Amino acid sequence: MRPFEHVRCVSAAEAVRAWHDAGNEAAYYAGGTELLLLMKQGLSRYERLVDIKHIAALGEIASTQQGVVRIGAAVTHRRLELSPELQRLAPLISRVERDVANVRVRNVGTIGGNLCFAEPHSDIGVLSLLLEATMTIQGLDQVRRVPAWEFFRGPYESAVEQGELLLHIEFPACREGTRTGYQRFRHHERPSCIAGVLLEPGEDPGNCGRAVVAIGAAGYVPQRSRSAEAALSGRTWREVAAGAAEAAALTAAESDPTEDLTGSVEYKRHLVEVLTRRAVLEAVGRMEEGQA
């Protein structure tokens, strides 16, 4: 790598100022699992790396009285995997994190870096859509909040503008009795298709009051299937299970897969359908077994 300046910061405001002082020749640095690889390959060059690992607020996992889970952008995948608080409040995050990349990457890679890199084959992007997360971003003069469905703009492109810093991600509390299903298919460390389903009980606990269906890795950005969500919502749990194939077909039709080294458009659309059906049945099965 070419020589660069390393600046360690202890506050978000200091980090943003350090980035702007270097102009467009700077990058924020936490885990560095993606950034340093690009720099070693000569695909990215920066005169200054702004180290945000020592900003205390970015390393926190906290919850509010309303049950909202706030995760700092510099929290590592490994901490998310092992956090007792997450396993209690948002168990799906810990479940999914166990299979992100490998343990070496999970020990240093961060949730914020993963989201900002906006890699199309990311589990975290799908999770943020499925759990309806909100990202808080700090710029030089303002702090703004961006919902997950507006965060991903394209492959390797997020809503974080140049010089801005992702502070934390907030996951709202799920209604008691909510169950999830999460299915992924992969050849190597990165999945080539992901389908996630969240089923929330209604006022009548025998019915599904609301459903969220999110898919990823098949296309350039993670997306939700509104037609599948409408088909599953308002049904009894038995009807939801019986309608899994219908919801899966709707999701596949609504998906926008792209051909790459992991498969053709037709192959990926087939995977979307298969995995969505399995995710619906997994969520219903967890409901019946009383699992989160």
Residue 280: the pLDDT is 98
Cβ atoms of 183 and 95 within 8 Å: the answer is no
Q: Look at strands 157-158 and 152-154 and give their pairing.
A: antiparallel
CATH of region 1-173: 3.30.465.10
Residue 219: the pLDDT is 96
Strand order from edge to edge, sheet including 69-72: 61-63, 69-72, 165-171, 134-138, 143-147
Span 271-276, average pLDDT: 98
Which DSSP state fits 59? Answer: G
| CA gap 59, 79 in Å, rounded | 10
- The residue ranges of DSSP E strands in the chain, in sequence order, are 5-8, 26-29, 48-51, 61-63, 69-72, 134-138, 143-147, 152-154, 157-158, 165-171, 179-186, 191-201, 208-216, 223-224
Cβ atoms of 31 and 110 within 8 Å: the answer is yes
Cβ atoms of 228 and 213 within 8 Å: the answer is yes
- Chain CA centroid to CA 120, Å: 11
pLDDT in tens, 158-188: 999 999 999 999 999 999 999 999 999 987 7
Q: What percent of the chain has pLDDT over 90?
A: 88
First-residue to last-residue Cα distance in the chain: 46
pLDDT in tens, 202-256: 999 999 999 999 999 999 999 999 999 999 999 999 999 999 999 999 999 999 9
Which residues lie below 8 Å from residue 272, measured CB to CB, with a gap of 6+?
A: 193, 195, 215, 218, 248, 251, 252, 255, 257
Q: Is the pLDDT of residue 189 over 80?
A: no
Q: What are the residue boundaries of the structural domains of the chain, listed by start? A: 1-173, 179-289
Query: In CATH, which of 2.170.8.10, 3.30.470.20, 3.30.9.10, 3.30.390.50 is domain 179-289?
Result: 3.30.390.50
Predicted TM-score of the model (pTM): 0.94
Q: Is the pLDDT of residue 143 over 90?
A: yes
- The residue ranges of DSSP E strands in 16-72, in sequence order, are 26-29, 48-51, 61-63, 69-72
